[in-house]
Amino acid sequence: QVQLVESGGGLVEPGGSLRLSCAASASIFNAYFMGWYRQAPGNQRDLVAVITSDGTTNYADSVKGRFAISRGNAKNPVFLQMNSLKPEDTAIYYCKVNLRGGVIWGQGTQVTVSS
């Protein structure tokens, strides 16, 4: 089973930027849907951004204009550029890849926005 590992999280001041990466333990081909989700303490896991195989993107209203999702390669399939970060963006961020054979989730990376 392919595993996903997120990286790039950390502590950043309000207004700062982070770039999240999602690395796969084996090459991923033919992913038809990839996304980033986040979960803050006490909250459910919410969609942040998604991208389809044809490059169509969709964003949560709260991050539109600040975050950008992009496709990478077979070993690093998806990235999330986060700009103008706010304290309410603090959460654990997860990448997800949808394949024909199933769904793969990463283990998450912590993003903390605080001064």
The structure tokens 């990376």 sit at: 109
pLDDT of residue 19: 98
92 pLDDT band, cuts 50/70/90, is: very high
Q: Is residue 82 pLDDT above 90, yes or no?
A: yes
* pLDDT per position as a tens digit, 31-80: 889 999 999 999 999 999 999 999 999 999 999 999 999 999 999 999 99
pLDDT at 101: 82
How does 2-20 read in b/e, with b if 16+ C-beta sit within 10 Å?
Answer: eebebebbeebeeeeebeb
Tell me what pLDDT residue 20 has.
98
Burial letters 57-91, b for 16+ CB under 10 A, else e: eebeeebeeebbbeeeeeeebbbbebeebeeebbb
